[in-house]
Amino acid sequence: MEIRARAPGKIILAGEHAVVHGSAAVAAAIDLYTQSSLHLPLPGEDGAGEVEVDLTDSGLAFSWPCSRLLEALGETCRKAELQAPRPCSPEELAAIARLVELHEIPEAKIWLSAGLSAFLYLYTSILGCRPGKVVVSSGLPMGAGLGSSAAFSVSLSGALLMAAGVVCAEGAVAGTEWQLLGKDHLELVNTWAFQGEKIIHGKPSGIDNAVSTFGSMIKFKKGELTNLKSGNPVKMLITDTRVGRNTKALVAGVSERASRHPDAMASVFHAVDTISEELSSIVELAATDEIAMTSKEEKLAELMEMNQGLLQCMGVSHSSIETVLRSTLKYNLVSKLTGAGGGGCVLTLIPTLLSKLVLEKVTTELESHGFRCFKVEVGGQGLQLHQG
């Protein structure tokens, strides 16, 4: 039996950093996915008696004998209460870490350890010690602020919960083999994925896994999520600068600046909040003709430009980001960083009337700097599954 699940990455359209200080932020799914394929031996088939995970993008595979998992995790390695995910206890996390340490992970990919721990927690909590193999592949760059870890947790949780018979598809994505889950089942997947995200990140906001699960766009403010319905397709060019950054250090830097200049930074955060609220309203407007669409896109571009200026005030831009801004401005296109800043990815709004030739020129120039570019549609479907 094979179950495949794919979950999208995400971008932050407005509000990063300021959201930590009470402002609204707007996040959206993009049509770049992480896919988890779960292969389970049928009753009577010969199985290796192992739980395996093949990370195709990293060229690495890991496996654990089911007997070893049961010995290490004891009762926690038996099927849990699937409708009420429990947090991973410190004792269980320590036991899982020892299981991960049985494998030699290359130093350059040591960050995989947290993902493997989340994998073992989710697999054993949902399926117990049943033998199986998971193959993971992704169109998302890792560690670039596009929600790759959340897409991994969501796609894995969806596949495992379907295998356990707890969730099932309720509708199809037109013209594809993929199927969708109902709201209640998506809520359950999201809750499990959030537990995986906590193992990977410690104290995640929950935004990334929510967007990856439900798709579309959301407004997030002070812990409250509001679903937004995009009235028209929005297209972006994502530029991955390939510059790594320390998210915790960048967040701390903004907080330190706010403590040094409390009044000025309070005004910055208030301005970002206003931008996020206005952007939320604009994306839900339905433009019925070319003139209305152009007007809508111009307003979105202005808000993105203002938000980028405020992010520069917060001190989270970077020379690589500024290079993208200058390159796209030559073609009258507006860009802003997305996520933590300090490198990472930059968004460029692609107007509906932009010619393919101009887009090719922009992309070529950006790639000449060593950057990677992805053209995406914003606000699409969330988790999708296929059983075969």
Walking along the chain (388 residues) 10 residues at a time, the average pLDDT comes out as 94 94 95 96 71 93 93 72 85 92 86 92 92 95 87 97 91 86 94 94 86 94 88 92 87 94 97 97 92 95 97 96 97 95 95 96 97 94 92
Enclosing domain of residue 98: 2-227+380-387
CA R_g for the chain: 21
pLDDT at 77: 62
Using the structure block, give the residue that is written with the tokens 């802003």: 336
**Dist CA 15 CA 270 (whole Å):** 10
Number of domains in the chain: 2
If asked whether residues 203 and 310 sit together in one domain, one would say no
pLDDT at 229: 87
Using the structure block, give the residue that is written with the tokens 């947090």: 87
Whole-angstrom CA distances from 387 to 51, 169, 377 are: 20, 9, 26
If asked whether residues 346 and 325 sit together in one domain, one would say yes
For the full predicted model, state whether its pTM sits above 0.85.
Answer: yes
If asked whether residues 125 and 21 sit together in one domain, one would say yes
If asked whether residues 53 and 192 sit together in one domain, one would say yes
Is there a catalytic annotation at residue 54?
A: no
If asked whether residues 291 and 207 sit together in one domain, one would say no
- Of 311, 321, 284, the C-alpha closest to 300 is 284
Q: What is the CATH number of the domain that holds 65?
A: 3.30.230.10
**Dist CA 18 CA 265 (whole Å):** 9
From the candidates 208, 240, 263, 273, give the one annotated as an active-site residue: 208
- Of 3, 359, 264, 9, the C-alpha closest to 150 is 9
- Of 349, 348, 139, 330, the C-alpha closest to 241 is 348
If asked whether residues 38 and 153 sit together in one domain, one would say yes
If asked whether residues 138 and 235 sit together in one domain, one would say no
If asked whether residues 54 and 179 sit together in one domain, one would say yes
